[in-house]
Structure 1
Amino acid sequence: MTGVTGTRAISLAALALVLAACTPASQDQLARGAAKSVVARAAAERLPGVPVAPYTDCIIDNATSQQILVLAADSVTGPTASTWEIITGIARKPETLQCLLTNGVSALLQ
């Protein structure tokens, strides 16, 4: 394994070890917190001037558990192009778009 794929695999393995020692509720909270941090960093980089907190909340609230885990692993190495692909995939979901509209991030949709 080399490059981003190898780094992501190692990050996922490390995250799995940390989460294994936690209760299910703590696991979810830790993974969501880590995923939220990488989404916020990616949004700040890619969407200057956009309010990051509501955008990040909408993304995390509409991500699958698998997407949360991958994003959480990316928090170790920082956002990459594939991180942004996951984020934009989540952002395209109808429920995410509704969340963005409801929470005042409609400038993103124009």
Structure 2
Amino acid sequence: MSLPFSLTAAALALSGCVVQNPGMGPAPTLPPVAAPAPDAMRSSARVIVNREMAKRLPGANVAPYTDCVMQSATTAELTSIAEAGALGAGDAVAAIVGRPATTQCI
């Protein structure tokens, strides 16, 4: 009589250590949402700035001017330019070109 009682007591004691639903796996975890890579954002902004400079200086090699604008712009401005695309970047590029540091570079 003591053996079945002790086996029952042992089973009850160990039942807290066993997974209650052995057929179910752990809850899936979602991968973290990553921000766009800074290089991708800078690349997009560079293309847009280059197009805007080409509109303002037709026929000229605008690569050096684009480099000056990219160096003078803040990360927030480059992000804004990349998000705005070609249609909304004109004012932002003009504001960056109007800065003394950019003017000296150009």
Mapping 1:29-68, distance limit 5 Å: 29-68=39-78
Gaps of 5+ in 1: 1-16, 101-110
TM-score, structure 2 length as denominator? 0.62
- Residue 96 of structure 1: aligned partner: 102
TM-score, structure 1 length as denominator? 0.60
Cα distance in 1 for partners of 2:95, 2:77 equals 10
Tell whether the 8 Å contact from 1:39 to 1:87 is kept in structure 2 after alignment. Answer: yes
- 1:52 to partner: Cα distance: 1.2
- 1:50 to partner: Cα distance: 2.5
Establish whether residue 28 from structure 1 lines up as the match of residue 34 from structure 2. Answer: no
Q: Between Structure 1 and Structure 2, how many residues are aligned? A: 74
The residue identity in structure 1 corresponding to 2:59 is: G
* More helix as a share of residues: 1
- 1:33 to partner: Cα distance: 0.8
> What RMSD, in angstroms, separates the aligned Cα atoms of the two structures?
1.8
Cα distance in 2 for partners of 1:61, 1:28 equals 14
User: After TM superposition, where is structure 1 displaced by more than 3 Å over at least 4 residues in a row?
Assistant: none
Cα-to-partner distance string for 1:34-90 (whole Å, 9 max, x where unaligned) = 100001112222320222100111111100111100111134xxx12x411100100
Tell whether the 8 Å contact from 1:38 to 1:74 is kept in structure 2 after alignment. Answer: no
The residue identity in structure 1 corresponding to 2:94 is: T
Larger Rg over CA atoms: 2
Cα distance in 1 for partners of 2:49, 2:67 equals 9
